Amino acid sequence: MLRIAKLTDYATVLMVRLAREPGRYFSAAQLAVELGVPQPTVAKLLKRLLRAHLLASTRGVGGGYSLALAPHAISVADVVGAIEGPLALTECARGKGNCSLERGCATRANWQLINHALRVALQAVSLADMARPQLQPVYVQALQEKMP
Amino acid sequence: MLRIAKLTDYATVLMVRLAREPGRYFSAAQLAVELGVPQPTVAKLLKRLLRAHLLASTRGVGGGYSLALAPHAISVADVVGAIEGPLALTECARGKGNCSLERGCATRANWQLINHALRVALQAVSLADMARPQLQPVYVQALQEKMP
DNA sequence: CTATACAGAACCAATGCAGTCCTATTTAGG
DNA sequence: CCTAAATAGGACTGCATTGGTTCTGTATAG
């Protein structure tokens, strides 16, 4: 089915929520209630996003999380990467040449290209775009500009 | 990591192999040896590809599998779809509205578009393309033509 | 009639993922 | 100075999916 992990899906929703009020700090508990997702799960996601330097945090009473960058400067690819690690459709696409089909495998280079197309598609859409109800025109324009 | 299943990867390699000699029939055993993948696994993949009407088969001695269509008429999206089912990045993207985040979830429509971009990218590349050592120019042209 | 090869289903082990819990550490406020 | 609120960073667990196997049945060439 080639789907992203459910947690990644949650993460994008979280990030879009934060993108709607860029300056404000939100606690994990607050976001959990607002989105209807269990609190520990939300906390875990926020931690991962923090480690990827997509969020800023302050501790203590009244603390919480906020975007580390402007909404238009964070792409969907960034969020996916933060939760799932660097994206690589095929096993061999991320080094580690433990692929039994090495010799004469002409498809590898081509997978890289498909891979790249996907990455571009995800990079072309920012949180600012996602926060819009429907981004059709922006999206199409960005994609066509950025396609290799 | 957003990667396709290993089996799907095998399947594309299989299909590309068949695409190199479109008329010829290959037995599962033969393909297994040639690719260095265990025979039962290859057999299973071939069955799935057959059910998706991407392959033709004949039984009995000297039987085997062959492409059901010309190499340029089968896309990578077809192969991925045959093994992994219809592709849908997000859970909600394939109906079944059991998503707790329903109300006010503006990101859904946008995911659909990203989804669509991926589908187009996979559809733009055929087995004939994959059989080429490097498809750069063809790929770029096809992608840019077909982008919505 | 037998050996070859596909057809289809059931089955099993292991990996990975969603989700929880526990123990620091930091900070605002009384 | 002490407490409550909040993040930081782990370790741990149950479940679902996936990769892979095995078995039984059916068709066909020679």
Nearest to B109 among A87, A118, A134 (CB): A134
Confidence of residue A91 (pLDDT cuts 50, 70, 90): low
pTM tops 0.75, yes or no:
yes
Question: How near does any CA of chain B get to the CA of A50, in Å?
Answer: 18
Quick: pLDDT tens for B117-133.
888 888 888 999 888 76
Specify the higher pLDDT residue, B80 or B101. Answer: B80
Residue B141 CB coordination number (10 Å): 11
Confidence of residue B55 (pLDDT cuts 50, 70, 90): very high
Q: Which nucleotide is nearest to B40 (CA to C1')?
A: D21
Report whether pLDDT(B140) > 70.
no
Distance CA A138, CA A141 (A): 5
φ, ψ of residue A58 to 5 degrees: the values are -130, 140
For chain A, give the percent of residues with pLDDT over 90: 51
The residue among B81, B42, B60, B12 whose CA lies nearest residue A108 is B12
Confidence of residue A93 (pLDDT cuts 50, 70, 90): low
A107 and chain B in contact, CB less than 8 A: yes
Q: Which of residues 59-118 of B touch strand C (CB under 7 A)?
A: 59-65
The nearest alpha carbon in chain A to B34 belongs to A101
What is the reported pLDDT for A5?
A: 87
Quick: pLDDT tens for A20-73.
999 999 999 999 999 889 999 999 999 999 999 999 999 999 999 999 999 999
Give whole-number Cα distances, B82 to A93, B49, B103, in Å. 22, 6, 33
